[in-house]
Structure 1
């Protein structure tokens, strides 16, 4: 099968080549998929895309006209794909489920600890030979209430990790995990109650119509004063303007995030020489109680190997005419 890999990054190309061997004819390009770059797929049977690629209806129609039949994502989230449109057109779409929920959950804990104990500020001070502790005081995790918005694969691991810290665990999800309830004293509550009671809130739910801008001003106003919010899910779940306002008025104590709602075209690139044009992102980064990492939660050796393995497996299934278990069930897809 002839395959074009969009948004190919140096740190993942090696694994993809290794997993592929000589099975598929793969070309790697750094370009992100959009209505302009879609023409690059002319003559290819399949493409592979990442979470920041644009696979909206217009782009899918171009791909289909060019002869592309398959799309395999190198991510678990697929909110960037107009999947119902793909079905209608005839494109098959598969994703990379469960490649490493541990990587995301562990990064979430890292963000919580770094934000709470002000590790970035401490490192900056020490590099300036400033060893004062006045602005570096945090709090004990033990005894604190942590709210987990979404107890799927990632959220359930996070519950286990934070329970070991001695935290009181709350959760909001449309489906309750009885194992977590019985073994980790997890209490399911409505989202507003979770926000009212939690010292720390972690977002671990997919982005869809219901969760888009779920965290905005009305919800921030219900939170404990000084609460920390952590987002390793999708940027669009949080309304950035409102989180900045909540930080400025003190209703939110800090925000740690690995994602940003307008990150497409910004993340995974070096803007050191050109600077940023996104004024909202610049304002967010400038906040003293914000910790932002560049969508790196997934980036572990184990996760990258697994993503490559799943990506090639999806292509193998289509090449051999087999049912692909990772092909998205269209009845549950979001637009």
Structure 2
């Protein structure tokens, strides 16, 4: 999958690169996702964000127009994402649902989510997409 990860720090970069093992086309940048950095998403289908990147209805709409189909937050919380707007727009959302919020585990979970979506599967317990997915294992992994 072609993905861009925003708000990446040095520690996270190392773990994401290792976990990815050149499987997905990842672009890692330190900039946060906002209206002025939105253009960096061009040509991507997945946006990976931190809990500090705020995705309101308008930003989600613009992401959808660019071609974004999936969003992964590198946090357990999803309070920074308008999940109802994402569902209305048909954008699937996943998180790091585990209690282990370390950079290493978060990187592994992020790549696991990408792998599942690429295989056409639901991301299981990491699914935050308001049940718009077609996965048969919704919420069970």
Category of TM-score, reference length = shorter chain: 0.7 to 0.9
Q: Is the 8 A contact 2:94 2:129 kept in 1?
A: no
Does residue 1:38 correspond to 2:41, yes or no? Answer: no
Answer 1 or 2: higher relative contact order, Cα 8 Å, separation at least 6.
2
Partner-residue secondary structure (3-state), 2:68 = coil
Structure of higher CA gyration radius: 1
SS for the counterpart of 1:63 is helix
* Pairing 1:172-251 to 2, within 5 Å after superposition: none
Preserved contact between residue 32 and residue 54 of structure 1 (Cα < 8 Å): no
CA distance in 1, matches of 2:79, 2:39: 22
Quote the Cα distance in structure 2 between the aligned partners of 1:329 and 1:44: 19
Q: Measure how far apart 1:329 and its partner are.
A: 5.2
CA distance in 1, matches of 2:12, 2:103: 6
Question: Could you list the runs of 4 or more consecutive aligned residues of structure 1 that deviate by over 4 angstroms after TM superposition?
Answer: none
Deviations 1:297-318 (A, max 9, x none): x5xxxx2111011000001111
Partner of 1:8: 8
Superposition CA RMSD, Å: 1.2
TM-score, normalising length from structure 1?
0.38
In structure 2, the residue matched to 1:322 is 121
* Alignment match, 1:94: 94
Aligned to 1:264: none
Question: Does the residue aligned with 1:32 lie in a helix, a strand or coil?
Answer: coil
Q: Helix, strand or coil for the counterpart of 2:87?
A: helix
Aligned residues: 130
- 5+ residue gaps, structure 1, are 101-297
Distance in 2 separating the partners of 1:83 and 1:37 = 21
- Cα deviation for residue 83 of structure 1 reads 0.5
Give the counterpart of 2:109 among 303, 310, 314: 310
Unaligned segments of structure 2, at least 5 residues: 132-141
CA distance in 1, matches of 2:38, 2:97: 25
Instruction: Calculate the TM-score normalised by the size of structure 2.
Output: 0.88
